[in-house]
Amino acid sequence: MLFYNGSETAVGLWAASYLIAGKGLAVNEAAAYSSLYFIGIIVGRILSGFLSEHLSAKRLIRYGILIGALGLWVLIGSSGMILAGIGLFVLGFGGAPIYPSLVHMTPERFGKKASQSVIGLEMASAYTGSTVIPLLVGLVVGSLGMAVMPVVFLLLFAAMFVSSILMR
């Protein structure tokens, strides 16, 4: 929860800045293309609701992380605004099932009796990530330059993937 919500908020806050400074887009273009990230989340959440009938929450989480990482690779390798927009859409689309799947798995992982308390801790972790990770991304990017932003997000996705494997 910490890594996912932190990265979701950080991408939402920093995507337009990256497109302006890292890809040379005009301010209005960067704003328009960064909205594709949120459209990807919406489409991904709708589709993952249907897919949850056929795939376990654990698989939805892992596939989502991998798809999101693919979106980051497209964003890193993009030289134009269309590919950058596609990368942001795929990033949002991939991340979409992670949050609801983690919450959905809680009673199964911790038991129904403890699930309310655990979900409260998950929400606290999610809000902590949403508060701290965008700040940390800003500090790293401020020190190393805007070009490292997608790499920082790849590291966050790697941390999510390792966490999903270790999750029991």
Q: What is the pLDDT of residue 45?
A: 96
Q: What is the pLDDT of residue 164?
A: 81
This prediction has a pTM of: 0.91
- Locate the domains of the chain by residue range: 2-166
> What is the radius of gyration, based on Cα positions, of the chain?
16
> Could you read off the pLDDT of 29-46 as tens digits, one per residue?
999 999 999 999 999 999
Buried b / exposed e over 2-22, threshold 16 CB at 10 Å, is bbbbbbbbbbbbbbbebbbbb
Second CATH level (architecture) for the domain 2-166: Up-down Bundle (1.20)
Q: What is the pLDDT of residue 168?
A: 63
Q: What is the pLDDT of residue 92?
A: 96
pLDDT exceeds cutoff 80 at 167: no
Q: Would the CA dihedral through 155, 159, 91, 59 be positive or negative?
A: positive
**Distance between CA atoms of residues 75 and 113, nearest Å:** 43
